[in-house]
Structure formats: structure tokens, C-alpha cells
Structure 1
Amino acid sequence: MNTVTLTVKKAPELFLECEKVNPDAFVGKTADQIAQLPAFQGKEISTLGDYFTVAGDAGATAAETRIVINGDCTKMKYIGAKMTGGEIIVNSSCDMYTGSWMTGGKLLVKGDVHSFSGLAMKGGEFTVEGNAANYLGAAYRGDWRGMSGGVLRVKGNAGSDAATFMTGGTLIVEGNVDIHLGTHMEGGKIILKGNANRRVGGQLVKGEIYVFGTINVMMPGYKPVGEVDLDVDGTKAKFIDYIGDLGERHPKRKGETVYGHLYMKK
């Protein structure tokens, strides 16, 4: 795998849109060619070379390309957005839309990410070692298609409205979350190892939510149906099984109603 190293040499005055910082855009390019790729700050068109020093040439395919980013990326958006393969390692925090719409590859952020990161993610592995802000793995504003595949793991906390309209994939938050986790969920799996504020699984139709900690206020549309022993992300424990959201219309399979499940660790 070929490695391209980007080192921040100048911070943007506003916010830099880095849609071209992904293995797909780098394929087959030399360091000089990568430096000429466009980046946007408001209406101003710049190049990656205006903000980064570039070292190393890309591979022949996205899968053969690794990007390592050093320096402060807290005002840089869209890093890893729409990537289909390869690998990105960011040794910093990032701004909005990091890893959004990605369909493959591996993205590691060794800091925090801002709102709308992992938006409508379809595949790949996205790991955040710090915290995530609002709308993690959610749907784009006005859309009804959230995260549908891949694995998105946050080792810290997440904000509000994570996994809104989720239909597939796995979201793991090892810390705490704010309100509206898994709203309008129609599939997929959420694993929360910390605590949730309230309104978890509102209008959930299908899918599974596992909560290791507490929920400040449980939604009224959930009914306990028993206890189960489960192995969740490497932890074996007993969980209380709730079905819901009972206020929603649920599909039927072979004559039986299909519910979502909310599992609370005892």
C-alpha cells in the first residue's frame, strides 16, 4: 500500500472543504498532482497544496492508497467523504461531514469529529478516538436515509440525533449520548456502552439498540418482554428485552408483527 502524507502548513481563515482528501481522488497521482487538487474556502477555490505539504505518491487503486494527515484539521470538512476503499489516518480532530457517505475502506480520526460525521454511511470502518458532535451516522437534512452499512465506532461521547433514520450497519458509542438516539430507526444495530439522556428509539420500527448504562427517561412506547443472555461487542451479560416503539406501525412477517428491540443491561 502506497502512503501519501499530508502535513498542515496553514490553517484556513474560515473552514476548508476537503472533499478531495480521500484515496479515490488520489488514485494514480504523484505528490505534485495531489497538491494541485482543489479545496474550497467559501467561494474561494484553492488547492490542497496551499494548505498542506504533500509527500509520497498514491497507489494504482483506492484500495492501495493510505493517507496520513498531520497537523490541526479542526477547521477542515469532508475528510474521507465518499471514500470507497483504502485508508485514512487523521492525527487530529476534524470538522463537519468527516467520513460522510463512505462506502468502504478504513478511516481513523485520533481526535474529535464535528456534526454530521458518518452521515448516510454505507460501508467501511470509521473509528473516532475522541468525541462526536450531533447527527452522527444520521440522514442528511431533509432526507430519510441514514446510515445503512459499515461499522462506526466512537470511543468517547456523542451528541444528539445520532443514527437518525438508520437502516443498517453498526454504530458503537463507548461513552454517553444526548437526546434522540436512533430516532426513526428502520434497521441496523446501535451499541451504547455509556448513558443516554432521553428519547432513545423514538418511532423505531426495526433494528436493535443495546444500552449498557442508563436512560434518563425511557420512551413510553416500549414494553419489557423478558430477559436474555447476550454477547454484545465482546461483553457477555444479561439484558432486559423491550419491544417497540409500540406507537408506530410495524410490518408483519409470516403473520407475526415485527418489532424493534431495545436491550437494557441489568
Structure 2
Amino acid sequence: MSEVILILKREIDIKLEADAITPDSFAGKNAGEIENLPIWQGPKTYPLSDFFEVKGNGGSSAAETLIRIKGDVTRVKRIGEGMSAGNIEIEGSTGMHVGSGMKGGEILVSGDADSWAGMEMLGGLLHIKGNAGDHVGCAYRGKWHGMKGGRIVIEGSARHQLGGGMDGGEILVEGNVEGFCGIRQNGGLIVVKGRALRCVGAEMAAGTIVVGGAIERFNPGFEYTGMVDGFTQGGVELSGKFKKFTGDYAISKRAKGVLYVAADANPEL
């Protein structure tokens, strides 16, 4: 696998739109050609080399290309957008829309990720070792269908509307989430090992959500169906007692969403 190293040259003021930073765009190009790829800052385009030092050449294909990004790129958006194969490793935190619409390959973020990470993702792996912002794996504004495939792993916590409109795939959060986790979920699996703030599964029609900690404000549209011992689905296995609910019946009497809630952390439910 060929490695391309991007080193941030200076602090970014106006945020960059850098959807050109993908293995697909870098594949088959030498360092000079990669330097000339366009990125947006406000209403203007600039060559990638205006902001990044480029070392190395792309591989023969996207699958044979690794992009390693050095520096704080929290003000750089859309890294890895739509990528189909290959690897991106971000040695720090990153900006909005990382991995949006990605179809394959792997992205590793060593720090935090801003909002809209993995938006409408179709395949591949997005692994965030820190925290994530709002709308992870969500549908974009005005659209109903979010993430359809792939896997998102967040080792820290996430904020509001995780998995909104999710149709498929998996999202695993080791920490906590805030409001409206799984809002309008239509499929797929969301696992939150920590706490949830409120309205988990609001307007949920199908799919599965598991919460291993306390839910501060439970959604009244869910109906208790019984107790289960442990949870196993795909490659996810959790031990302990879980209360099983179905819903969200506040939206439809034919809803098929399933919500598992840790019994010990939620004795009042």
C-alpha cells in the first residue's frame, strides 16, 4: 500500500471544504498532481498545497492508497467524503462531515470528530477514538434516510440525534449520548454503552437500539414486552439483564422498532 502524508502548513481561519482528500482522488497520482487537487475556502478554490505539505504518491488504486494526515484539522470539512476503498488516518481531531457518504475503506480519527460524521454512510468503517458531535450517521437536512450500511465506532461520547433516519449498518458508542438518539430510525443497530439524555428512538419505525446506562427521560411511545438475559446481534455481545420495549407507537401502531435498556441502570422503567 502506498502512503501519502499530508502535513498542515498553518492555522486555518475560514473552514476548508476538502472532499478531494480521499484515496479515490489520490489513487494513480504523484505528489505534484495531488498538490494541485482543488479544495474550497469560502467562495474560492485553492490547490491543496496552499494548506498542506504533500509527501508520497498515491497507490495504483484507492484500495492501495493510505492517506495519513498530521496536524489539527478541526477546521477542515468533508475529509473522506464518498470514498470507496483505502485508508485515511487522521492523527488528531477532524472537522465536520468526515466520512460522509463513504462506501468502503476505513477512516481512523485519533481525536474528536465534529458534527455530521458518517452522514448517509453506505459502507466501510469510521472509527473515532475521541468524542463526536451532533448528527452522527444521520440523514442530511430535508432528507429522511441516513446511514444505510457500514460501521461507526466512537470510543468516547456523542451528542444529539445520533443515527437519525438510519436505515442500516451499525453505530457503537462506548460513552454517552444526548437527546434523540435514533430519531426516525428505520433499520440497523445502535449500541450506546453509557447513558442517554432523552427521547431515545423518537419516531422510530424499525431497527434496534441498546442502551447500557440510564435514560434520563424515557420516550412514552414505547411498550414494555419483557426481560432478556444479555444481547447478541452480529458481532455485538453485551451481558446483563435488559428490559425490552417496542415502538415508537406514538407515531404508528405498526412500528417495529426494538429498544433494549439495561435493567439495573433503569429500575423505574
Sort the TM-score into its range (normalised by shorter chain): over 0.9
| 1:7-86 matched pairs, under 5 angstroms | 7-86=7-86
How much does 1:34 deviate? Answer: 0.4
Partner of 2:239: 236
Partner of 1:247: 250
Q: How many residues align?
A: 260
Distance in 2, Cα, partners of 1:90 & 1:250: 45
Q: Deviations over 1:240-261 (max 9, x none)?
A: 111111123365xxxxxx6211
SS in 2 for 1:32: helix
SS in 1 for 2:169: strand
How much does 1:74 deviate? Answer: 1.2
Confirm or deny that 1:199 pairs with 2:196. no
Distance in 2, Cα, partners of 1:67 & 1:181: 32
Partner of 1:254: none
Confirm or deny that 1:132 pairs with 2:135. no
Confirm or deny that 1:262 pairs with 2:259. yes
Unpaired runs of 5+ in structure 2? 264-269
For the aligned residues, what is the CA RMSD? 1.2
Unpaired runs of 5+ in structure 1? 252-257
Q: In structure 2, what residue type is equivalent to 1:264?
A: V
How much does 1:223 deviate? Answer: 1.1
Distance in 2, Cα, partners of 1:69 & 1:235: 34
SS in 2 for 1:81: coil
Q: In structure 2, what residue type is equivalent to 1:246?
A: Y
Q: In structure 1, what residue type is equivalent to 2:132?
A: A
Distance in 1, Cα, partners of 2:237 & 2:33: 44
Distance in 2, Cα, partners of 1:141 & 1:27: 31
How much does 1:180 deviate? Answer: 0.7
Q: In structure 2, what residue type is equivalent to 1:259?
A: K
Distance in 1, Cα, partners of 2:26 & 2:197: 41
Q: Deviations over 1:113-166 (max 9, x none)?
A: 111111001110001011111111100000111011000011111111111111
- Compute the TM-score of the two structures, normalised by the length of structure 2: 0.94
Partner of 2:178: 178
Q: Deviations over 1:208-245 (max 9, x none)?
A: 00000010011111111111123443432221111111
How much does 1:60 deviate? Answer: 1.1
Retained in 2: the 8 A contact 1:22–1:88?
A: yes
Retained in 2: the 8 A contact 1:10–1:50?
A: no
Identity level (%): 40
Distance in 1, Cα, partners of 2:249 & 2:40: 46
Retained in 1: the 8 A contact 2:101–2:120?
A: yes
Confirm or deny that 1:158 pairs with 2:155. no
Q: In structure 2, what residue type is equivalent to 1:103?
A: K
Structure 1 residue ranges (4+ consecutive) displaced by more than 3 angstroms after TM superposition: none
Retained in 2: the 8 A contact 1:118–1:138?
A: yes
Q: In structure 1, what residue type is equivalent to 2:137?
A: G
How much does 1:6 deviate? Answer: 0.7
- Compute the TM-score of the two structures, normalised by the length of structure 1: 0.95
Q: 1:220 to 1:231 in 2, by over 3 A?
A: closer
Retained in 2: the 8 A contact 1:12–1:41?
A: no
Retained in 2: the 8 A contact 1:38–1:48?
A: yes
After superposing the two structures, state which structure 1 stretch, 78-87 or 5-14, moved more: 5-14
Distance in 1, Cα, partners of 2:223 & 2:146: 26
Q: 1:31 to 1:250 in 2, by over 3 A?
A: farther
Distance in 2, Cα, partners of 1:118 & 1:172: 13
